[in-house]
Structure 1
Amino acid sequence: MIRLLRRYPLPVIVLAQLFGTSLWFSINGIWLSFARQLGLDEADLGQLTLAVQAGFITGTLTLAVTGLADRFGASRIFAVASILGAAVNAAFVLAAGHAPMDFLLRFATGLCLAGIYPLGMKMVIAWTPRYSGAALAWLVGMLTLGTALPHLMRGATAGLPWEWPLLGASALAVAGGALVWLLGDGPHLPASSGPIPLRQGLAALGNARFRAVAGGYFGHMWELYAFWTITPLLVARELDRAGLSAGLIPWLAFTVIAVGALGCVAGGRLSRTLGSEWVARWALRISGLLCLVYPLLGGLPAGLLVVLLLIWGVTVVADSPQFSALAAATAPRASVGSSLAVMNAVGFGLTLPAIWLTSGLWSHAGVWVALVLLPGPVLGLWSLARGGRGSSVS
């Protein structure tokens, strides 16, 4: 069994990533039935989503400044984080609707995710040292599918208690942790460097090219998680306008988010010939255009707007692995890990106000909250333009 897993390490890692990151939006997947039962609204959804983001940011910064990710095996941290994340996610069943315990449990889920997503990247490096924008595209693609998975589970368990898909996500996380535990650490794991001073990660910002790439990533992050948060609300609106059953909401929400995985993989393939920056620029341009035109076209037939949502789902995340590849290529060689950790922490920090604004304004502005996302792609493109065109990364 172990020998078989080690023959195909990359598929094992991305599958474990898919299972582990199903915890991320597990509440969003059950939100409509969950909210009706407990009398919650979109602002409450935003608060619980913010708790996960805050926990993830706290966890990644902790790993960056303490060197814990270098002191212990990446596979062991991944496995333990998956099991603990599964436990706190399952415990939400008991705390649902009881503040602040529900908020604290979602925060703890974010902390655990910090041991899953970044450590998955480290394991890719350890097992396949020649990773590129194309390889990272598979990893981010699995993160995207993991984000969408709770919506699929909600659709597949329609008519059953909302607790079932929530516990299903926990079971998947345990399975992912077990796979990585059996796989173990790769033969090309970077040597431990001990605790990493925060200033070492911040030093990369002195490089103009790295600042340009980081600025593009920050703009991308402003849009990405806020869009994923309001996806069920957007699809619910279109299904209601089309007179279709609300039971289709989780299926369509899953599809809109999950097609982003195809965008990641396709972008990875394009990056081999056109370069990572080309992919990132075009993804930002298209998703930014959709932020602008979607509310303006709100009166068009629902079917056409669903098509726009699918295109948006593809492009909103297609640039994510390419920004990681570009940042790794432009960061100082001695501090790639800490530079990426700081960039990720700042990027996820920007998701907090974006999620808070879009979820909080939905009941008042409806589909027009898409305009709140527009500054992200605009500022991302501006940052890349200021930094000029660097070397292509594939």
Structure 2
Amino acid sequence: MQPPKHILPVIVVAQFFCTSLWFAGNGVLVSLIGHFNLGVNSFGNITSAVQFGFIMGTLLFAVLTLTDRFSPSKVFLWCAILGACFNLGIVWEGNNWTSILIFRFMTGFFLAGIYPVGMKIAADYFDKGLGKSLGYLVGALVLGTALPHFLKWLTALFLWQYVIYATSALAFFGGLLMVLLVPNGPYRKPSQHIDFTAFFSIFKKKDFRAAAFGYFGHMWELYTFWTFVPALLALHAEQQGHNLFRVSFWSFWVIAIGGLACILGGYIAQRNGTKRTASIFLFLSGCCCLLVPLVSLYATTPVFTLFLLFWGIVVIADSPLFSTLVAQSAPPELKGTALTIVNCIGFAITIISIQLMITLQGTNYSFWPFLLLALGPLFGLIALLKKP
């Protein structure tokens, strides 16, 4: 059964609009620190607050099997509205360090009803060619994640608060698009009751476990890389004496280029196989982790920026492929819960990785700690070897 032609574009646009909430705090971080007199450790902690909120949200959604019991489009709408409202909270003039973390935590909490639910909606419409469809969807996530950096680059003309206003407005509109234009899909098999055991029993399937573990290795690297892209660019530019280097502009492109990579990866997987394509991208991103200290020593800033652009491609291109493997190996009536569970654990891993990097970096930033990010791709590759 061929779904209506408007379904995939609407899902992609809605996902793009709503996931712009994710890094909205990071995009205006420098202005945020100055405006509210925050500490220098705000960089990683604000990201971790969103991640932790997302983890708690996905945990609750998975335990209650919400995305399989209720209309996913309606879940998406309400989470988009609430996420947009909490995102707006950080422009409140009475904010302090604690309130900002709470607002970012709650934004992350409701993103749990956006990102995995968007993939669930796509899986309900696309049985064949799911990898290609999720490639577009994760590509939208990547662009939404990168958007605040681009908007921050425009704050030479606009106040930083406008970045927050814009991302919240986009999220609200994205939620409306989803609920108005994307009804329940033909492949949706709703669960009739709460299954508290689903969180654990689903991992008994060997092929599901292998796909999930591959995703976990991928996540160890991904969000830590995205979080520290501005720091990597700024550190290398400083070493080369390029004080006018446009860090926010290039941070946007290093992250955003991954959106195109996700789409191309979906098409490549149709020809070469999902598992094989995911393995190749995971291997290449692991190589980037190992090469970054060496490249930083000998490359000029333009060459180093090209290296980061390549890393931005391979670090995310396997993400929709892992989600495809997870969805295909999960029981149909628990497909949404399975995607939510895997997202929950994967993003918990990102907090450990980000906080480890913050600890290792201390006050003097260096490229050498990024070698540890290669442990994730290594773990993921070993897991994929065990998948039938």
TM-score (norm 1): 0.91
User: Structure 1 residues 95-104 or 81-90, which shifts more?
Assistant: 95-104
| Preserved CA contact (<8 Å) 1:64 1:196 | no
Change in 2 beyond 3 A, CA 1:204/1:77: closer
| Preserved CA contact (<8 Å) 2:116 2:336 | no
Paired residue secondary structure (1:161):
coil
Change in 2 beyond 3 A, CA 1:235/1:54: same
> CA RMSD, aligned part only?
2.1
Query: Shift of residue 243 of structure 1?
Result: 4.0
Is 1:85 matched with 2:83?
Answer: yes
Aligned to 1:284: 282
Paired residue secondary structure (1:265):
helix
Change in 2 beyond 3 A, CA 1:131/1:194: farther
Q: Give, in whole Å, the separation in 2 of the partners of 1:203 and 1:177.
A: 32
- Output the amino acid matched with 1:132: L
Paired residue secondary structure (1:191):
coil
Query: Shift of residue 312 of structure 1?
Result: 0.5
| Preserved CA contact (<8 Å) 1:209 1:330 | yes
Deviations 1:201-224 (A, max 9, x none): 322322333222221111101111
Query: Shift of residue 197 of structure 1?
Result: 2.3
Change in 2 beyond 3 A, CA 1:205/1:175: same
Aligned to 2:233: 235
Q: Give, in whole Å, the separation in 1 of the partners of 2:315 and 2:149.
A: 18
Alignment of 1:1-394 (within 5 A): 7-40=5-38, 43-94=41-92, 98-188=96-186, 190-244=188-242, 246=244, 248-300=246-298, 301-362=300-361, 363-385=363-385, 387-388=386-387, 390=388
Paired residue secondary structure (2:286):
helix
Query: Shift of residue 287 of structure 1?
Result: 0.8
Q: May I ask how many residue pairs the two structures share in their alignment?
A: 384
Query: Shift of residue 317 of structure 1?
Result: 0.6
Q: Give, in whole Å, the separation in 2 of the partners of 1:46 and 1:30.
A: 13
Paired residue secondary structure (1:186):
coil
Deviations 1:300-330 (A, max 9, x none): 2222211110011001111111111112222
Change in 2 beyond 3 A, CA 1:346/1:187: closer
| Preserved CA contact (<8 Å) 2:68 2:335 | no
Q: Give, in whole Å, the separation in 2 of the partners of 1:274 and 1:57.
A: 33
Change in 2 beyond 3 A, CA 1:329/1:181: closer
Q: Give, in whole Å, the separation in 1 of the partners of 2:196 and 2:369.
A: 35
Paired residue secondary structure (2:156):
coil
Query: Shift of residue 73 of structure 1?
Result: 2.0
Q: Give, in whole Å, the separation in 1 of the partners of 2:328 and 2:124.
A: 17
Structure 1 segments unaligned to the other structure (5+ residues): 1-5
Deviations 1:317-361 (A, max 9, x none): 111111111122223445333333222211111011111122343
User: Structure 1 residues 84-93 or 239-248, which shifts more?
Assistant: 239-248
Change in 2 beyond 3 A, CA 1:183/1:246: farther
Change in 2 beyond 3 A, CA 1:127/1:332: closer
Paired residue secondary structure (2:233):
helix
Q: Give, in whole Å, the separation in 2 of the partners of 1:127 and 1:95.
A: 44
Q: Give, in whole Å, the separation in 1 of the partners of 2:194 and 2:349.
A: 23
- Output the amino acid matched with 1:355: I
Deviations 1:233-281 (A, max 9, x none): 1122233344445461111000000011111111101101101111111
Paired residue secondary structure (1:100):
helix
Paired residue secondary structure (1:169):
helix
| Preserved CA contact (<8 Å) 1:95 1:102 | no
Q: Give, in whole Å, the separation in 1 of the partners of 2:332 and 2:31.
A: 49
| Preserved CA contact (<8 Å) 2:54 2:111 | yes
Aligned to 1:3: none
TM-score (norm 2): 0.92
User: Structure 1 residues 51-60 or 70-79, which shifts more?
Assistant: 70-79
**Percent of aligned pairs with the same residue?**
40
